[in-house]
Amino acid sequence: PENRSRGMGAIGAAFGLGFIAGPAIGGILAGPDPINADFRTPALAAAGLSAIALVMAFFILKESLSAEIRKQLAEMPAKNRAQQFRDALNKPGVGLLIGLSFLATFVFAGMETTFAMWSERRMDWGPQQNGYLFAFVGIIAALIQGGLVGKLVKKFGETNLVIQGAAALALGMLSIPFANSLLTLLGAMVVVAYGFSIITPSLNSLVSLQVGPDEQGGVMGVGRSATTLARVIGPAWAGLLFSFMGMDWPYFGGAAVMVLVVVLGLRGLKKIAIPNHTNI
pTM of the model: 0.78
**Helix/strand/coil percentages in the chain, nearest 5:** 80, 0, 20
**pLDDT, tens digit (0-9, with 9 covering 90-100), for 171-222:** 999 999 999 899 999 999 999 999 998 998 889 888 877 777 667 777 877 8
Does pLDDT of 1 surpass 50?
no
Determine the pLDDT at residue 2. 47
Map residue 103 onto helix, strand or coil: helix
Determine the pLDDT at residue 146. 74
Determine the pLDDT at residue 131. 82
pLDDT band of residue 276 (cuts 50, 70, 90) is low
Determine the pLDDT at residue 65. 64
**pLDDT, tens digit (0-9, with 9 covering 90-100), for 90-148:** 777 888 999 999 999 999 999 999 998 999 999 988 888 888 888 888 888 878 877 78
Amino acid 86 reads R
Q: What CA–CA distances, in Å, run from 245 to 111, 114, 177?
A: 15, 13, 13
Q: What is the CA radius of gyration of the chain?
A: 19
151-162 burial: b if 16+ Cβ within 10 Å, else e: ebbeebbbbbbb
Q: Is the dihedral of CA 4, 141, 166, 112 positive or negative?
A: negative
Determine the pLDDT at residue 75. 62
Helix axes 81-90, 94-123, angle to 10 degrees: 100
Higher-confidence residue: 85 or 225? 225
Q: What CA–CA distances, in Å, run from 253 to 66, 110, 203, 228, 240?
A: 45, 10, 22, 20, 11
